């Protein structure tokens, strides 16, 4: 990751993590994705390493869905202090019998994790921060290879606002994506450099989606975005998340590059988003309303599962 992007991410995520904004604003992950990921863990005493754990939204979902005794240890690595604080607020009271830790660490520095100790390494809503540099990507993949047991899985998962199903979502995204400032967002596909690294090619294989997906809404995506390599198999699960206008503001404010904006620019963006919301509500642009203030916001969840040879 470029130093300027790392500094922005750490500062912004420390702020949104410590304040509770990130945990409040971000959606959870669909049960069908969680079930698919759990199926690649042993039934007993599994050890999981999570990279870029944030406040633990994914961690809580997987740990709460695992059968008793399935996960013995969950070792989270997170570089942002505020995110680690948010993570430990719930983890210190978790009663599932799993030993949970959250310490400082990055994609390419996992010194606290023993070699060949993990049944799974997972990164939820995080790996895109590796960017496109092949040297950095290979260094990070070598660390993933080192900590995984033979046959262990490396899992990447993202929730994204699904512009495929709604012009309204596209208009929302267009309003805030102009502020990305070169940050390596998931949708750009820069992170897919990992599939070209020597470490991936020599030590991993990418697993295809289930022939019979866990969810009737799951489908294999051949081309989600022009920037995404259509040859890479992906499990794409379509979901709907109830969201108010204030909830939408919070969700977008929790994005690092929006958190980093000055207050005046954030307020201008808020005005723009409210205009888009009101305009499409007035035209009844295919929005699914729960009540007069809440809409069903379309999301897609993308899962990539790689197995160490």
Backbone angles phi, psi at 40, to 5 degrees: -100, 10
Residue 36's Cβ-side half-sphere holds a number of Cα atoms within 13 Å equal to 28
User: CB under 8 Å to 262, separation ≥6 — which residues?
Assistant: none
Give the phi and the psi of residue 152 in degrees, each rounded to 5. -70, 165
- Give the residue-averaged pLDDT of 194-216: 75
Most confident of 68-72, 226-230, 234-238: 68-72
CATH of domain 3-165+184-240+298-308: 3.40.50.150
215 pLDDT tier (thresholds 50, 70, 90):
very low
Token pair of 234 as six digits: 């992906």
Task: Give the tens place of pLDDT for each residue, 62-114.
Answer: 999 999 999 999 999 999 999 999 999 999 999 889 999 999 999 999 999 99
Nearest CA among 222, 242, 241, 244 for reference residue 302: 222
Segments of the chain assigned E as strands: 46-51, 71-77, 99-103, 118-124, 148-161, 204-207, 218-220, 235-244, 294-308
Task: State mean pLDDT over 265-290.
Answer: 87
Written as six digits, the tokens of 148 are 């995984």
pLDDT given at position 165? 82
Q: In the chain, what are the domain boundaries? A: 3-165+184-240+298-308
Name the strand (E) or helix (H) holding 165.
Answer: none
Band (pLDDT 50/70/90 cuts) for residue 168 is: confident
Instruction: Give residue 274's pLDDT band: very low, low, confident or very high (50, 70, 90).
Output: very high
Res 9: pLDDT: 53
Decide: 55 and 22 in contact? Cβ < 8 Å: yes
Percentage, residues of the chain above pLDDT 90: 70
Residue 202 tokens read as 């020599």
295: helix, strand or coil = strand
Question: What pTM was computed for the model?
Answer: 0.89
């Amino acid at each position: 990751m470029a130093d300027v992007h790392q500094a922005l991410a750490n500062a912004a995520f420390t702020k949104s993590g410590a304040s509770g904004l990130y945990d409040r604003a971000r959606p959870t992950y669909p049960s069908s994705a969680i079930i698919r990921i759990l199926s690649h863990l042993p039934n007993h005493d599994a050890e999981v390493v999570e990279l870029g754990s944030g406040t633990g939204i994914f961690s809580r979902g997987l740990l709460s869905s695992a059968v008793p005794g399935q996960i013995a240890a969950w070792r989270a690595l997170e570089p942002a202090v505020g995110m680690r604080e948010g993570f430990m607020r719930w983890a210190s009271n978790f009663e599932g019998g799993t030993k949970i830790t959250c310490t400082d660490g990055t994609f390419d520095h996992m010194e606290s994790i023993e070699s060949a100790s993990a049944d799974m390494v997972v990164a939820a809503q995080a790996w895109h921060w590796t960017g496109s540099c092949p040297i950095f990507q290979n260094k990070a993949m070598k660390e993933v290879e080192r900590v995984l047991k033979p046959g262990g899985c490396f899992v990447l998962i993202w929730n994204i606002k699904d512009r495929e199903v709604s012009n309204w979502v596209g208009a929302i995204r267009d309003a805030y994506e102009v502020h990305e400032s070169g940050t390596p967002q998931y949708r750009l596909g820069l992170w897919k450099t990992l599939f070209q690294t020597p470490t991936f090619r020599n030590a991993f294989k990418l697993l295809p989606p289930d022939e019979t997906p866990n969810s009737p809404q799951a489908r294999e995506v051949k081309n989600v975005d022009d920037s995404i390599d259509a040859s890479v198999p992906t499990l794409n699960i379509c979901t709907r998340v109830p969201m108010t206008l204030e909830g939408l503001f919070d969700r977008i404010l929790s994005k690092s590059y929006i958190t980093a904006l000055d207050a005046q620019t954030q307020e201008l963006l808020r005005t723009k988003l409210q205009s888009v919301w009101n305009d499409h509500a007035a035209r009844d642009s295919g929005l699914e309303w729960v009540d007069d203030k809440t809409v069903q916001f379309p999301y897609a969840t993308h899962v990539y599962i790689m197995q160490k040879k």
